[in-house]
Amino acid sequence: MRIRYLFETTIALLVFAAAYALIRIALSEIPPLTLGAIRFILASGIMLPLVLVRYRGNACKIVRSDLLVFTVLAIVQIVIPNALQNIGLEYTTASVSSVLQSTTPVFTLLFSFALLKERVGPKDLVGVILGITGVSLLSTGGNLSGLGGLVFVGNLLQLGVAASYAASGIVGKVLLKRFDPVFVVTVSFVIGAFVLTGFATWQEINKWPSSLSTEVVVAVLLLSGLYCVALVSWYDVLQHTSVFRLYVLLFTMPVLAVLISVLVLGETFTLMDILFSALTLSGVAITQFRNQK
């Protein structure tokens, strides 16, 4: 992977990993659908001016079929993941949530093979197995029995997030053949914000807070602004690589989440954490270098 793409991928993964903590902070005062709506209204406000200045009347031509694909992308990249993730985090723990959402590469493997006809070899399968084993052990401290005792609904919602993100990689890859990442991200943000606002108004208008703490405001602003950078970077890399080879890197998110907790929150990083992280990263390495001599 070229240095530019490696840098962009690293930035995106760091933002994705940090989002769990920021969402938990924001959910302490904002209902889940409303949080998603606010987040992407703000993100659209950041991206739209950039697109308008960039194209200056020479906007990409979108035909009706393109609009349909953009809408599907907004639903699977923005609406479904944010709704399910935010609601699900009220029923399950962040650690189990990270395990279940880290199954995205498994769904990506299936979708890429079935829909994009991308080659899937034995090393890919081995890498996926090692990766999902590593994130499961890392996020549960090696006690996998804890997975069975959690609320089923919350866990099921997080699996829905994983499948939805995997589908977004397939749809995004299609759009990136004709449009640049900034344009794709902006249109999906606008459509996603519109849909989430509708659902939030319908379901949660009576739960809207009259005021927010500074901590929550900062969390929402970070969620909105950083995600703009992260998703544009992610799609720029996706434009130049296979869906599976990029999305398998999502296995590193729990590892990054642990590192962020150590650096920011002062949590401990045990020997077992190191071993489980190494197992996860070995699975990623196998898939990333499968075609290199």
Q: What is the mean pLDDT of the chain?
A: 80
Token readout for 232 is 């544009």
> What is residue 57's predicted lDDT score, i.e. its pLDDT?
57
The residue among 207, 171, 144, 210 whose CA lies nearest residue 78 is: 171
Please classify residue 210 by burial: count the beta carbons closer than 10 Å to its beta carbon, then call 0-12 exposed, 13-18 middle and 19+ buried: exposed
The pLDDT value recorded for residue 293 is: 42
Share of the chain above pLDDT 70, in %: 71
- Report the pLDDT value the prediction gives residue 55, as an integer from 0 to 100: 74
Pairwise pLDDT comparison (236 vs 132), residue with the higher score: 236
Domain definitions of the chain by residue range: 3-288
pLDDT above 90 for 222: yes
pLDDT at site 150: 47
**165 vs 86, residue with greater confidence:** 165
**pLDDT per residue over 245-274, tens digit each?**
787 777 777 677 667 766 665 656 567 766
Looking up tokens 């053949």 gives 177
Nearest to 251 by CA among 141, 147, 100, 121: 100
pLDDT in the model for residue 277 = 64
Which of 106-110, 193-197, 227-231, 260-264 is the least confident region? 260-264
